[in-house]
Amino acid sequence: MLDAIERCLALSQRARGEQGEALARTLASLDAALAEARAAMAPSVDADDHAVLELDLTGYLTAWSPGATRLFGYEADEALGRHVLFLYAEDDDDGNIAELYFDAGGEAGATAEVRRRKKNGEIIWVKMHIFMRHDDSGEPAGMLVRLAQVDEALSAADKINLHARIIEDSDQGVLITDANERIVSINSSFTRITGYSPEESIGKTPDLLRSGVHDAEFRAKVRAAMRGAGPWRGEIIGKRKNGELFPQSVTISVVRDEHGQISHTFSLFSDISEHKDAQARMQRMANYDALTGLPNLCLLTQLVGQAMTENRRSQEHGAMLVLEITRVGAISDTLGSDIGNELLCEIGRMFRATLREADVLARLDGHKFAVALLHIDKREHAAIVAQKLLATLAAPIRIASHSLQVGAHIGITVYTEDGTDVPTLIRYADVAMNKAAQNIEADFLFYSEEMNQRAKEHLRLESELRQALVNDELLLYYQPKVSLRSGRIVGAEALLRWRHPVRGLVSPGVFIPVAEESGLILDLGTWVLEQACRQIRDWREDNLIMPPVAVNLSARQFDSQLPQRIAAVLERHGVQPDQINLEITESLLVRGTDNVIAIMNELVAMGMSLALDDFGTGYSSLAYLKKFPISTLKIDRSFVVGLPYEENDCAIARAIVTMAQQLRQEIVAEGVETVEQMSFLRALGCDQLQGYLFSQPVPAVEFAAMLREGKRLAFGTRV
């Protein structure tokens, strides 16, 4: 076949240089040679292993090779005589087939890649080579078609073109080097990222981008990849033309020739500096507290989690301290949140300076910090750290021009005794911290299982109490106060009761602390005031002459809105302010800000009187009382119990009564159960008593009955 082609070429060259008859002769022999060449090049149906078919000029099949059977699945007798269209994948497939027929008249035939349908229905891409067949006189007689399945949808040339386009347009930088590591090609992203133009880079080595930050071992790895050790993917710090370093994510691969020798190396890289910055920022945001810059709960959890895994191996212990800083809320309220925030930052700095390097200090939320001591030998070490932290807060902290005093409660858990995972440790330390907050004697406490049980019980009560408000399970009882002069009922205290559907009557001693802690006391307080006023109105409508009713107020209810809230309730029920007394506790006075005094003054100005409940159990001194507009002192039951036999109780009761008389305050003794107690108090000059001796707290109807029948205290034997 090659012979025939060569003869053809030689003849055609000769023809170009000849004229006239000689030319005609040469052309005739050229035709003959061409026919021979065509015959040699064209496949024959029998000889070729490919799928080969023959068509007549109208497209009907006249020959079908075994290869065609293999490719399409039709036997020769199924295909012969049919129009070739039955092999087409779609009706309008390769519409330019006519051109192909025309092209097929050329020396080398025509080539096309088209879709065809196999007998089993499968559509395949085939590469089709069409040759025109000529009869003896050189006229077209039919078509010879050779087909081979192509696996890909793209021709090789298209593929090369496409790939070149993709490389050029890629967002990634592309760098191709030859076997000598000289740069032979780059794309436009390479120039955009590195700053080097093709002229500046082609012919150079990739050292052009070398930053010098990687060590020899790392460079050896990259070199090995470039020498064919296998594709390599990693991050390399490169250097731009302007000298700036940049992180790049790189993939290096090699291209081998047919002998397996490396002909080229190509690197694909992207500039990940922005990505890295964002990653670093995100990392910070996810792991550090925005205000103080200290680790947050997330990072604390990770660090302690790791330490715990190590500790388990080495059987070591660690501790978790959760701290709540007190008074920050009040400081922020009065001086603004900027001062409050600055204060928290300063506390963070002070704690950090107190702790050892290896201890983790984190800010949890609000006013809470956590300290993880990753390795401790004894529980006491955690206590020492707690004391050190508390000592840090002993002196006032200066922020701007203010000198601010804060305190802290600390709860401590030890791992692995108390818990084996970080959330449990923090939760239990929180339980201990809340316990410490209620404890007057200790500012820090270790967690115990008993605490946890109580905390759980609290939570259950809290949710049940919420329901109680909705389900109308609350009611007020009234306990009379009687005059120690006349023996008559001169007042009553409204006391909250909870008729629990399962537990029966629950004592306020149980649920009031829960309500205080959860904030539910605000809703309860509102309910009590509302209910008491409604009751007073009902009694008035029943023509009952009512002494004032005292309502207990929680310190949490005591805000600047309180006077308006009370005024609204009084008005709603048409109750006069002097029909209501308010009982407050000493904790409110200890908080003692000007704000509290102003609110008290406002309440008194409205016509209500204030009584100080449980007097003697808190910290306030009688002298201190002068600052507050309080008209009544209630001596706590704990001092009444021992009367008249306990010397201390007698002395205290006597001192309270004497001082109160000088302050012109009325005195009510709580919890008087015996005639002896009553007589002693009466002799001291106490004004009223409230206690089981006269009556327990009773439902409203019973109290009304007592009033109606004019029940009086019998003074009995005089002391």
Interface with ligand C2E by CB under 6 A: which residues?
479, 495-496, 507-509, 512, 525, 528, 552-554, 583, 613-614, 637, 670-673, 690-692, 697
Helical H runs in 65-172? 66-72, 76-79, 97-103, 156-169
Question: 54, 271, 359, 583: which one contacts Mg ion (CB under 5 A)?
Answer: 583
Question: Quick one: which of 224, 229, 274, 230 has its CA closest to 248?
Answer: 274
What are the distances in angstroms from CA 507 to CA 329, 513, 693, 703? 31, 11, 20, 19
Question: Quick one: which of 289, 163, 179 has its CA closest to 227?
Answer: 179
554 binds, among Mg ion, ligand C2E, none (CB under 5 to 8 A by kind): ligand C2E
SS3 percent helix, strand, coil of the chain, rounded to 5, is 45, 25, 30
528 binds, among ligand C2E, Mg ion, none (CB under 5 to 8 A by kind): ligand C2E
Report helix, strand or coil for 143.
Answer: strand
692 binds, among Mg ion, ligand C2E, none (CB under 5 to 8 A by kind): ligand C2E
Report helix, strand or coil for 252.
Answer: strand
Report helix, strand or coil for 290.
Answer: coil
Residue 13 or 561 with smaller CB distance to ligand C2E: 561
495 binds, among Mg ion, ligand C2E, none (CB under 5 to 8 A by kind): ligand C2E
Q: How far is the CB of 690 from Mg ion (least distance, A)?
A: 9
Q: How far is the CB of 484 from ligand C2E (least distance, A)?
A: 15
359 binds, among Mg ion, ligand C2E, none (CB under 5 to 8 A by kind): none
Residue 340 or 548 with smaller CB distance to ligand C2E: 548
Tokens of 506: 């629950």
Strands 232-239 and 245-256: antiparallel
Alpha-carbon distance of 565 to 688, in angstroms, equals 29
419 binds, among Mg ion, ligand C2E, none (CB under 5 to 8 A by kind): none
691 binds, among Mg ion, ligand C2E, none (CB under 5 to 8 A by kind): ligand C2E
Q: How far is the CB of 638 from ligand C2E (least distance, A)?
A: 10
Q: How far is the CB of 459 from Mg ion (least distance, A)?
A: 27
Is residue 580 classed exposed, middle or buried when 0-12, 13-18 and 19+ CB atoms within 10 A define those classes? buried
Alpha-carbon distance of 255 to 118, in angstroms, equals 36
Q: How far is the CB of 536 from Mg ion (least distance, A)?
A: 17
**Residues ≥6 apart with Cβ < 8 Å to 146:** 43, 48, 50, 51, 52, 128, 129, 131
By CB under 5 A, the residues from 470 to 499 that bind Mg ion are none
User: What's the Rg (C-alpha) of the chain?
Assistant: 50
Q: How far is the CB of 284 from Mg ion (least distance, A)?
A: 52
507 binds, among Mg ion, ligand C2E, none (CB under 5 to 8 A by kind): ligand C2E
292 binds, among Mg ion, ligand C2E, none (CB under 5 to 8 A by kind): none
Residue 433 or 512 with smaller CB distance to ligand C2E: 512
Q: How far is the CB of 507 from ligand C2E (least distance, A)?
A: 5
Alpha-carbon distance of 298 to 283, in angstroms, equals 11
Can you state the angle between helices 2-16 and 20-41, rounded to 10 degrees? 160
**Whether residue 585 has a cis bond before it, omega within 30° of 0:** no
429 binds, among ligand C2E, Mg ion, none (CB under 5 to 8 A by kind): none
Residue 294 or 512 with smaller CB distance to Mg ion: 512
Displacement of CA 244 from its chain's centroid (Å): 36
Residue 279 or 507 with smaller CB distance to ligand C2E: 507
Q: Which residues pair with 326 in a beta bridge?
A: 407
Q: How far is the CB of 306 from Mg ion (least distance, A)?
A: 52
Q: How far is the CB of 691 from ligand C2E (least distance, A)?
A: 3
Q: Contact, 715 vs 679, CB < 8 A?
A: yes
Residue 176 or 514 with smaller CB distance to ligand C2E: 514
509 binds, among Mg ion, ligand C2E, none (CB under 5 to 8 A by kind): ligand C2E
487 binds, among ligand C2E, Mg ion, none (CB under 5 to 8 A by kind): none
By CB under 5 A, the residues from 645 to 704 that bind Mg ion are 670
Tokens of 82: 């049919």
Residue 364 or 532 with smaller CB distance to ligand C2E: 532
Q: How far is the CB of 327 from ligand C2E (least distance, A)?
A: 23
Residue 619 or 692 with smaller CB distance to ligand C2E: 692
Amino acid symbol at 151: D
Alpha-carbon distance of 62 to 81, in angstroms, equals 6
Q: How far is the CB of 636 from ligand C2E (least distance, A)?
A: 7
Q: How far is the CB of 572 from ligand C2E (least distance, A)?
A: 19
Please tell me what DSSP assigns to residue 152.
Answer: S
Residue 193 or 582 with smaller CB distance to Mg ion: 582
Q: How far is the CB of 465 from ligand C2E (least distance, A)?
A: 13
Residue 110 or 524 with smaller CB distance to ligand C2E: 524
Residue 443 or 583 with smaller CB distance to ligand C2E: 583
Alpha-carbon distance of 41 to 111, in angstroms, equals 14
Q: Binding to Mg ion by residue 586, rule CB under 5 A?
A: no
Residue 238 or 691 with smaller CB distance to ligand C2E: 691
**Residues ≥6 apart with Cβ < 8 Å to 607:** 576, 577, 578
Q: Long-range contacts of range 534-542, CB-CB < 8 Å, 24 or more positions apart?
A: 534/573, 535/476, 535/494, 535/700, 536/573, 536/575, 536/579, 536/580, 537/573, 537/574, 537/575, 539/700, 539/704, 542/704
Q: How far is the CB of 673 from ligand C2E (least distance, A)?
A: 4
Alpha-carbon distance of 381 to 318, in angstroms, equals 10
Residue 665 has a CB neighbour count (10 Å cut-off) of: 21
Residue 66 or 508 with smaller CB distance to Mg ion: 508
By CB under 5 A, the residues from 281 to 320 that bind Mg ion are none
Q: How far is the CB of 316 from ligand C2E (least distance, A)?
A: 47
343 binds, among Mg ion, ligand C2E, none (CB under 5 to 8 A by kind): none
Residue 444 or 498 with smaller CB distance to ligand C2E: 498
In this chain, which stretch among 15-23, 267-275, 477-485, 613-621 interacts with Mg ion, using CB under 5 A? Answer: 613-621
Residue 72 or 639 with smaller CB distance to Mg ion: 639
52 binds, among ligand C2E, Mg ion, none (CB under 5 to 8 A by kind): none
Residue 583 or 586 with smaller CB distance to ligand C2E: 583
State phi, psi for 14 to the nearest 5 degrees.
-60, -45
By CB under 5 A, the residues from 541 to 580 that bind Mg ion are 552
Q: Contact, 546 vs 581, CB < 8 A?
A: no
Q: Contact, 132 vs 98, CB < 8 A?
A: no
Q: How far is the CB of 294 from ligand C2E (least distance, A)?
A: 38
Question: 418, 613, 649, 687: which one contacts Mg ion (CB under 5 A)?
Answer: 613
Residues within the interface to Mg ion (CB under 5 A): 552, 583, 613-614, 670
